[in-house]
Amino acid sequence: MKRYTIFVITENFIGILNRITIIFTRRGINIDALTASESRIPGIHRITIEVTVNEDTVIQLVNQIEKIIDVIKAFYHEDEGVVYQEIALYKIPVSRLDGGLEKIIRQHNAKIIAAEPDFVVLELTGHKEQTQELLEILKGYGLLEFARSGRVAVAKRMLTIDSYVK
């Protein structure tokens, strides 16, 4: 079992995400994280799926995803083949702010992106291991809420989606 990133380049039609997730569901495979957004070409969406399976399975998943009529192309990469980031937000009560926290924010390169009378919101982008590390520390500061995105990623190989969109 290994962590893979699957990229799906697809037409922006209603239901397409459902058709993709069904392929995982019927094999009983859990999607670790998923993000979807418009690509730089209007009308074409890009879906990034993170999944932990063996290579035979990821190949079959990709083939079956690509078989979906409105999917233009699907591929998979190991972690080494992609540059990726995740974003995490942490909500901390103002009452717990002290010099220790300031040091933690600096050490982790986190940012305060909102300050309200009762709480502040910290932001950290990075790999899951990094956002997780900060999460563990902030649990000691009365963490009120935590949210983390799926990965957004770009492939290292020099191929662009234009070659598939004709």
Q: Which residues of this protein are in contact with other proteins, per CB under 8 A?
A: 10-11, 14-15, 18-19, 22, 26, 56, 59-60, 63-64, 66-67, 69-72, 165-166
**109: helix, coil or strand?**
coil
In the block, tokens 């990133």 appear at: 5
15 or 28: CB nearest other proteins: 15
Q: What's the min distance (Å) between Cβ of 30 and other proteins? A: 18
- For the CB of residue 114, give the shortest distance to other proteins in the complex, in Å: 35
> Which lies closer to other proteins via its Cβ, residue 34 or residue 61?
61
CB of 125 to other proteins, least distance (A): 32
Say if CB 34 and CB 156 are below 8 A apart: no
Q: How far is the CB of 63 from other proteins (least distance, A)?
A: 4
Closest CA to 9 of 60, 48, 67: 48
CA distance 53 to 126: 23
With H, G, I as helix, E, B as strand and everything else as coil, classify residue 130: helix
Q: Which is nearer to other proteins, 9 or 120 (CB)?
A: 9
> Do 5 and 77 contact (CB within 8 A), yes or no?
yes
